[in-house]
Structure 1
Amino acid sequence: MWKSGFKWMFLIIGTMIGAGYASGRELWQFFGNESGLAILLFTILFSLCCYVILNISYEKKTEHYLPVLEAIVGKRLAYVYDGMIFIYLFTTTVIMLAGSGATLEAFHFPNWWGIVIIIVPLILIFMKDINGVLSLNSFILPLLIVGLLGVLVTFSIQQELSFFPDLSRQRNWTAAFTFTALNILPLMAVLGAVGNQMKAKGEVWIASLGSGLILGTISYIYNNSLIQISDQVLLYEIPLFAVLRHYPYVMFLFISILLWLAIFTTAVSGTLGLVTRIRNTINAPLWLLATITLIAMIPLTKIGFATLIEYLYPLYGLLNLYVLSALILYPIINRYKIGQK
Structure 2
Amino acid sequence: MIKAGIKWMFLIIGTTIGAGYASGRELWQFFGHESGLAILLFAIFFTICCAVIMYVSYHHESTQYLPVLKDIVGIRLTKFYDIMIFFYLFSVTVVMIAGSGATGQAFNFSKWWGIVIMVIALILLFIKNINGLLSINLFILPILLGGLVFILMKFIMDQDLNLFSHWHEQRNWTAAFPFTALNILPLIAVLGAVGDKVKTKGEIYIASIGSGVILGAISYIYNNSLIQIADVILLYEIPLFAILKDYPFEILVFMSLMLWFAILTTAASGVLGIVTRIQEYFNQPFSLLVIVTLLLMIPLTTFGFSQLISVLYPIYGILNLYVLTRLLLFPLWHRRDKRNKIR
1:256-275 to structure 2, matched below 5 A, reads 256-275=256-275
Give the C-alpha shift of residue 40 in structure 1: 0.6
Q: Give SS of 1:230's match.
A: coil
Report if aligned partners of 1:64, 1:280 keep a CA contact under 8 Å in 2: no
Corresponding position: 1:228 with 2:232: no
1:115-134 to structure 2, matched below 5 A, reads 115-134=115-134
Quick one: which amino acid aligns to residue 260 of structure 1? W
Corresponding position: 1:296 with 2:296: yes
Partner of 2:237: 237
Q: Give SS of 1:113's match.
A: helix
Give the C-alpha shift of residue 90 in structure 1: 1.0
Partner of 2:173: 173
Give the C-alpha shift of residue 293 in structure 1: 1.1
Range moving further from structure 2, 147-156 or 275-284:
275-284
Give the C-alpha shift of residue 306 in structure 1: 6.9
Report if aligned partners of 1:34, 1:170 keep a CA contact under 8 Å in 2: yes
Deviations 1:295-337 (A, max 9, x none): 2222333356777655543332221111111111111111233
Report if aligned partners of 2:36, 2:166 keep a CA contact under 8 Å in 1: no
Partner of 1:214: 214
Range moving further from structure 2, 309-318 or 18-27:
309-318
Q: 1:195 to 1:150 in 2, by over 3 A?
A: same
1:240-251 to structure 2, matched below 5 A, reads 240-251=240-251
Partner of 2:31: 31
Q: Give SS of 1:226's match.
A: helix
Partner of 2:183: 183
Report if aligned partners of 2:33, 2:166 keep a CA contact under 8 Å in 1: no
Partner of 1:284: 284
Give the C-alpha shift of residue 156 in structure 1: 1.1
Quick one: which amino acid aligns to residue 134 of structure 1? L
Equivalenced residues, count: 341
Partner of 1:102: 102
**Which sections of structure 2, spanning at least 5 residues, go unmatched?**
none
Give the C-alpha shift of residue 221 in structure 1: 0.7
Give the C-alpha shift of residue 147 in structure 1: 0.8
1:315-330 to structure 2, matched below 5 A, reads 315-330=315-330
Corresponding position: 1:145 with 2:145: yes
Give the C-alpha shift of residue 152 in structure 1: 0.4
Q: RMSD across aligned C-alpha pairs, in angstroms? A: 1.8
Q: TM-score, normalised by structure 2?
A: 0.94
Q: TM-score, normalised by structure 1?
A: 0.94
Quick one: which amino acid aligns to residue 332 of structure 2? I
Give the C-alpha shift of residue 50 in structure 1: 0.4
Range moving further from structure 2, 214-223 or 127-136:
127-136
d(CA) in 2 for partners of 1:105 and 1:223?
24
Q: 1:305 to 1:254 in 2, by over 3 A?
A: closer
Q: 1:165 to 1:307 in 2, by over 3 A?
A: closer
**Which sections of structure 1, spanning at least 5 residues, go unmatched?**
none
Quick one: which amino acid aligns to residue 267 of structure 2? A
Partner of 1:71: 71
Report if aligned partners of 1:9, 1:210 keep a CA contact under 8 Å in 2: yes
d(CA) in 2 for partners of 1:304 and 1:150?
29
